[in-house]
Structure formats: structure tokens, C-alpha cells
Chain A
Amino acid sequence: MNACDIVIIGGGPAGLAAAESAFKAGVTDIMILERDSRLGGILNQCIHNGFGLHTFREELTGPEYASRYERKIRELGIPYSTETMVTDLGTDESGDKLITCMNRQRGMYRIKARALILAMGCRERPRGAVNTPGYRGAGVFSAGTAQLYVNIHGYMPGKTVVIVGSGDIGLIMARRMTLEGAKVRMVVEIMDHSGGLKRNIIQCLNDFGIPLKLSHTVTEIRGKDRVEGVVVASVDERRRPIPGTEEYVECDTVLYSVGLIPENELTRKLGAGIDDKTGGPVVKADLELSIPGVFACGNVLHVHDIVDHVSEESAHAGENAAAYIRDGRVPEGAGGYVDSEEKNVYRPGENEDRLTCIMCPNGCELTAVKDDDGKVKVSGNRCPKGVRYATEELTAPRRIVTTTVKLEGGGIEALPVKTDRTIPKDKISDVIKELTGVSVTVPVSTGDVIIHDIAGTGADIIAGTDITADTDID
């Protein structure tokens, strides 16, 4: 049986950050187990930007954020095994952890580890979880599934879309579907406010004129073979549909963004307790489960709003696991849980003049008002960049555009690309138009220029990830 000091299950943002910090804390005998064919986890399909302001002090796309960590893992020489599924977990009488794995090369095998870090992430709640009545034809997808089809496979799951749920994934997909050529009819939210970031309401819905229907829900899906439309109704304060408010909305696709659940099937095999509220394992302040030497971090522990917090929390888990190996215990006051402060959610009529500055990780909450002369008054900023940001956002907003182009010659058929700098918001459709029909052949490296000076904006379109002919679709 193989043995090592720390096994990490999951090679997404949580697992990679944990591996790096454990290594830097002096434990070098580590193995990362990843079931997909590449590291990076869900970030690989999150081709939009907005990641990394806290961790790297710049705005990155998901693949860019992931590749920074992958590079560190490779530079440190930390071993990892992809396309490897963990099928069972247990402990032996000496307290070591037994990890049963399966892959093509080795078949079934076991690793014995002194410490174990659970970093399996989370999964989406499907339509069934909200039990929407109606037909079960094609065209109903979890938002993340649609994101995978579009961003990795390069295929559109639909042309006319209604999105259920205004969490960040739903909002991000509203913009994505629009950019790639679908008509998003509306985003329907059962609560009286959106759980998504206000910035995403602005950049994903308002920029494209997509209506957000608060206090509404889909009460029926029509279309036996393929979705033909949905019935949308207002809900009362107890979230029950109000009779008489029904409206039929034609569409061929319904995307569900109705929450994420930590993926703890393996955790249960260890006999660990699950917290009903978070859906993650019960842990102490230092992220250790009731089983000594087992730690959890990232979305398997609780669902985070931003990946930077996942990385920070997972670095704590890595350090603490290293301390456990070194000293047999985690010191008092070690780092643990990282959660968002209250985030700037969107409620109509509330804080309409508030903006979160994205110029630096301070993330100042700005109040910005444009007077009749078009002059913008800003307060709440901690540095002059805030004034610049708010003025631009209110007078001539600029955006980084992230999108896909067709990729040929490999297993993956879509290449994530982005503008290398912001462009005027009203140029977005021109940029997309110029990219229509563009195709690129593998291999491609991050930063390769695909088109110079797109749509006369002065911005270049650059590749957002590395892809070779061998890169697999997973």
C-alpha cells in the first residue's frame, strides 16, 4: 500500500491552495487526487472575470486563477493524480486514513495517509430539488451544466432562455447565454431580493436589458419533448404562487440556479457528522473534523461566495494539516473558516446609488450620484481610484469582455478568450460580432493574441487558457 503524509481529495481551488500551504509549512509528502482530467475544478468552466482581487490583487478569469495555482503546484513538485476517483474512505486502528482509489492505470488501489484534507467542492441543486411541476422534456438544465456545454464544449443548450434563481451562477449564465447568441427572456427569483452580487446584476443583466423578476417563480414547464415555455407567477410573502398572476413565457430552455450543496458522500463514509445548516462536515475552529487528522475546506465545508475565500480558508487547512503531521496537533488560534462579510446583495429601491469599487481588493462601498450637469459625486472611497471608478461606471461604463471562440484540432471545441483591457460597454456587441466565425487551432497558450485591436477598441482578444491537442474535455 502507498503511504504519504497528506492526501488531498479534490484538485480544484480548495485542494490546490491546501497543498501549497501544507508544502510551504514543511510537509512535502503530499498527494492530490482529482477525478477530472485536469486540475482546476469548476474554475475551468468559469471563464468570466472577477476572480482573484483578494488573492492576486488583480481581476482574473477562472482558468487564469486556476492556472496560477497549478503553476505553483508544479513548481513545488507536489504530486497529483488526475482521472482518479476516490471510492471509499476509512481509518485503521493506528488512526491512519485509508483512501481507496480507482483509475485507468492502476485499477483499484489504496493510499494510507497520516492526514487527509477533504476538498471535494459542491454540486448544484437540480430542478427536482424545487419540484417544479410540468413536463420533463429536453431543455431543462442546471446553470452549471449549461455553463459546461457553452464554455468547454462550445455548444448552446438553447436559444430562448428563462433562468430560475438569481444567485451569481444564474446571473453569470444570463450574460453568457446572451453573449453566445441566445435571448434571455428573464431571470425569475422567488425571493424579494437577489442573492447575487450587485455588480453581477449590473454587468450581467442591466448591461443586456434582461429583466429580473423578483418575488416570482416558475410554476409549470410546458413542452413534452423540448421545453416550449414556462408559466411564471408572483409569489406571496410565504413564497406561494398567487393565483391570477400567471404569465406564459415562451422559451426553449430553462436554467436552474437554485443553490449549491457541499458534496459530502465520501465524508459520510468516514462516519463524520454533517452540519444541517451548511451541508458540510462538522469541524472545529481549526477545520479539523471529529476524526483527528481529517480537515475540510472550501465548498465541501460550506458554500463560499468568492473563490478567494476558498483559497484563504484552504491555506489554513493545509497549514493545520501540516501542524498535525509535525506536532500531532493543531496549535491554538490556528486559522479556520473564511466567510464573506455581508455581501452587497441587490434589493430594489435599496442602495440604488451604491457601488462596490472593483479597482482593488479594498472593495470600498461607494455612494455615487450623478447630478443634473452629469457630474458624479462619490463618497465612501478610501482612495482616489474610487472616484475614477464611480465616475466611469456612471458616465461611460467599461467592461472586460470574456467569451469563447471555436477551437479546432483537439478534444475541446471552445477556447475561452477575453479582451486584454476594458472596452466601452456599448462596444460589447461589436466585439462579439467580430468574433463570430473566428476559429483557432490548437495548441493555444494563455495570453496568445487572437485578434488585435478588436472592433477598433484598442483592446486585443487574448486566449484565456492553455489547450493542447491532448487536453481532455473534462
Chain B
Amino acid sequence: MYDVAVIGGGVVGCTVARFLSKYELKICLLERGTDICEGTSKANSGIIHGGYDAAGGSLKAKLNVRGSRMMEELSLKLSFAYKRNGSLVICRSGQDAGMLQTLYERGVTNGVSGLRIIDKDEIRSMEPNINAAVEKALYVPTGAIADPFMMTVAMAENAAVNGVEFMLRSEVIDIERDDTEYVITTGSGEIRARYVINAAGVYADRIHSMVSRTPVSIRAVKGEYCLFDKEAGGLVSHTLFQLPSEKGKGILVTPTVHGNLMAGPTAITVDDKEGVDTTAAGLKEVLDTAAMSVIGMPSGKVITSFAGLRAKEAGGDFIIAFAADSDNFMDIAGIDSPGLSAAPAIGEYVAELLGRRMDLKEKSGFVEEREAIPSIADASDAERQALIESDPAFANVICRCELVTEAEILEAIRRPVGARTVDAVKRRVRAGMGRCQGGFCSPKVVDILARELGVKPTEILKAGEGSEILKGRNKERPCDTE
């Protein structure tokens, strides 16, 4: 019997679990995937928005601004990459410059500090490669970038250290109310909990409807992205937004915290909530639109493209509330942008809402901090020497592009909520994130996973169920010569 069951292991679910793990609560987190961070959290812009975009008074505005203010300190406590690079909302000649003023005013109302509307010369001094057609921009100094994978993993690891039980491969099939508790049927068994928190992303409506008749409607809005080689990482230093439209914040161009260049996302509503495929039209739109922001977009230096689905609720705002017709069932639904930015504030807010229903007692011995897996790539030569002396596996380079060693991969596997798949390793230590996209390292990562987990290489998954990388031994089938 759990006090709280959190459904969904994305950045929201993991962050909520982490914030609730401060209290004397028995908590479990249910995730259908083979790893946390397998949905929207793994395919988004990685932007920590300033908070000028959401309408004043909305939950989005409030939690974005608060989350953005919490982020830097959290990134230091939990060791995930964060960089306040500042953002620019750009306005080209012929576009509505009044829109910048509107955004500025909205930002001031929302409590965003340091906003300024700047002119061509100042923009050019900040971004030499800006498209010549750009006339004005809203400068948002609090805009930042973060590593969404590591933020999610850091929250999960820290939550686990503080007692949260993570149940992967546990898709919620049904929820029933049994007197004062919920009975949750999952693909891997039955869970009982007094409180249920629905952080199921694009499926939050399905989970909600298992216990409630009130309407929650989540549509999936696909966003496609192109990621570029680090060679192109210096093209811009700020995050460059187009003027927002009713479709969203538009296609941005940004450096990533790891030094790549990224462009995206598109915004197309799709019916298929598993539809994370990229399209020729979408990728073209990304590259064409990015070229309107920046000159010299290096389309030949794309190393991968991907798509994610944002969970858009019909009302447009986040829904974070107890269901009206089902006691102690809380929805965290419609968390599209700025969900990543708001996540810490969502965690805090959920604790506050829960505290109104139950007596939350702070736990003694709460571990507030999490250490990063040591990174050879980021270490100085002296630090590398010390790491190799502590464990020679730090000298065994597995991923050449990103300089990731065997020791780092082993730790990613051995940590709480450890990596079980090739993609899970990739998210935690960046093996396979580089320009060869796992060409050199993935066979070695498969071997290390198989050895460490005590399974055959043919059982190792790339990501989801059915994503085995290998299909058997050589010569298991006859040679077909015709």
C-alpha cells in the first residue's frame, strides 16, 4: 500500500516524485517504458523559458516564471547541465513589431526580469550570424538551456535515493476505487495507493478517464527537430525564437548545453500518440524557417533529426488539480511548453496541493543533492588522471565522438533507476549522441549492457519493447542465393 502512486516517468512525474520524496510518504512511480524519460521529455527543445509568453494569471505563466527561477540552483544541487544563455524573440522587417511590445508587457506582468526590446545593431553584436532581415528583438536575459534527459534522470535518481520506488515496464491498464484507496492494475501487477498523481503526458486523458467523468482532452502536437554537429555549435549563442503564433512559439534555433546546434520544432496536431516519426515536409520546414533567423544554417551538418509530441489540453493551460469527481486523484495534464521550465515549480505546487489534503511531514535525512556521473570529456587532464587511478575503466573510451568511457557507462547502469537499454545509456552519459550517432560505440554498449545485466546480446533493447538490436547469430538461416 502506497501513500502516493505517480503515473508517468517523464520530467514532470520524476520531478513531482522527487519533491514529494522530501516528506514521510511511501511513493511509487509507474512508467510503461523500459526507462524514464521516454516520451515528451526526451524530444523537446531543452529550453528554460523566461516566462513572457504565457497569458498573465495563467498557471503556465506562474509556474514557468517560478520554475525558471528555481532551475539554476536545482541544476547545481542535482548536477544536470544548465546554462543561462539568454534568448531573443526576433522580428523581421514586415512583421508586426507591436507583437514584441505585447510580449514585453506580458513578461513584465508575469514577473520576468530584465526584459528589453533591442534594435538591429545590438542584435547583430550579440548574434553576428543573424539574418539581415531581423529588425528588432525582445531580449530575455533569464532565458536558459538545460539538458532535459539529465534533468529527468537526476530527479529520478534523487527520488529513488529518497525512497521512491520506480516500476518500469508497468503500463497502467486500469484504475479502480476501492473504498479509500485506488487499485491500479498495471502490465506487471497490481498496486494500491491512497493518492494517485496522473503525469501521463499525452495519455493523461486516458488515465484521467479511468476514474473521472469530467472532460480532459489531450491532443498530441508533433514537433520535429534537426540536431547539428558540434562544429556548427557556435553559429548562435542565444536561443533565437520567431514571433509566436497561435501554433506556438515557432521554430527556434539554439545552441544546446552540450555545444550542438539545434533547430525546431514544427507544430502539427496528430492523431497517433505514438507518432514520433519525422516527415520530409516537417524537416524541410525546420531548415527553411531556421534560415530566416540565421544565415549559414549548415544543413549538411545535421547529425540526426527527431520528433516529440507535446500534450496540448483543449483549454490551453496546464491542468494541475484534484479531479472534481474522484477523491485524491490529481491530474497534471496538458503539460506542453513551458513544461520543462515549469517542472520544478510543478513539483513544489503539487506538494502544496497535497498538503492541503493530508498532513505532510518532512522526512529527516532527506538527501537533497545528487552527484553527476564523472565525465572524462568534461574533466581536466589532472582530473582524468585521478579518475583513471580510481578506476582504469575511465581510460577505456567507448564513445569516441563524445569521449565517454566504460566506467561512466557502468555507473549509468549501476545507479538507482539505472540504464537498461542503449538509449538509456545514451541519455545518461551521451554515448552515441555524437556525430557518428553510435556507429562505433553501440556494439560496445550492447556488449557492456549484456555483460552487466547477465543477458545475451540479442536481448538488449534500443529503447521500447520489441526494439532488440540484434536478430540472432550468424548462419541461423540458410544462405538464399536467389
Contact = CB atoms under 8 A, between A and B. Distances in A.
A179 B475 CA distance: 8
B220 to A, nearest CB: 14
Interface string B363-387: 0000000000000100001101100
B479 A149 contact: no
Contacts of A219: 280
B277 interface: yes
A149 B480 CA distance: 20
Contact of A124 (B382, B439, B458, B473): B439
B481 A209 contact: yes
Interface residues of B, number: 64
Majority-rule SS of A interface residues: mixed
Give the residue among B400, B438, B468, B479 with the most A Cβ atoms within 10 A.
Answer: B479
B293 to A, nearest CB: 19
Contacts of B278: 133-134
Contacts of A224: 274, 276-277, 464
A252 B475 contact: no
Nearest to A84: B395
Given A124-B439, A138-B462, A225-B465, A158 B396 contact: no
Interface string B274-295: 1011111011000000000000
Contact of A128 (B303, B388, B443, B466): B303
Contacts of A144: 439
Give the residue among B226, B274, B447, B473 with the most A Cβ atoms within 10 A.
Answer: B473
Interface in A245-300: 252-253
A129 B439 contact: no
Nearest to B470: A155
A178 B436 contact: no
A103 B397 CA distance: 9
Contact of B481 (A123, A137, A145, A178): A178
A464 to B, nearest CB: 14
Give the residue among B278, B403, B478 with the most A Cβ atoms within 10 A.
Answer: B278
A155 B474 contact: yes
B282 A133 contact: yes
B247 interface: no
A197 interface: no
A107 B393 CA distance: 10
Give the residue among B282, B472, B481 with the most A Cβ atoms within 10 A.
Answer: B481
A131 B285 CA distance: 13
B93 interface: no
Nearest to A102: B395
Contact of B436 (A83, A123, A180): A123
A38 interface: no
Given A128-B303, A134-B278, A35 B466 contact: no
A78 B480 CA distance: 46
Interface in B412-454: 435-440, 442-444, 447
A224 to B, nearest CB: 6
Interface string A372-410: 000000000000000000000000000000001010000
Given A104-B395, A155-B457, A149 B443 contact: yes
B474 A133 contact: no
B307 to A, nearest CB: 9
B461 interface: yes
B278 to A, nearest CB: 5
Given A138-B462, A224-B464, A432-B479, A129 B302 contact: yes
B469 interface: yes
Nearest to A154: B474
Contacts of A100: 381
B447 A473 contact: yes
Contact of A102 (B388, B462, B470): B388
B283 A133 contact: yes
Nearest to A274: B231
A127 B303 CA distance: 8
Given A126-B303, A156-B471, A226-B466, A135 B277 contact: yes
Given A209-B482, A429-B479, A126 B283 contact: no
Contacts of A473: 444, 447
A108 B302 contact: no
Contacts of B478: 181, 429, 432-433, 436
Contacts of A186: none
Nearest to B472: A156
A429 B282 CA distance: 45
B53 to A, nearest CB: 29
Nearest to A428: B481
A209 B439 CA distance: 28
Contact of B475 (A83, A134, A221, A436): A436
B95 interface: no
A139 B438 CA distance: 13
A225 B480 CA distance: 27
* 4 tightest Cβ-Cβ pairs between the two chains A and B: A181-B477, A128-B304, A138-B462, A104-B392
28 contacts: A104-B388, A104-B392, A108-B381, A108-B388, A124-B436, A126-B303, A128-B302, A128-B303, A128-B305, A133-B278, A133-B283, A137-B462, A137-B464, A138-B467, A141-B439, A149-B470, A154-B474, A155-B474, A157-B469, A178-B479, A181-B476, A181-B477, A208-B481, A219-B280, A220-B279, A221-B277, A224-B464, A433-B478
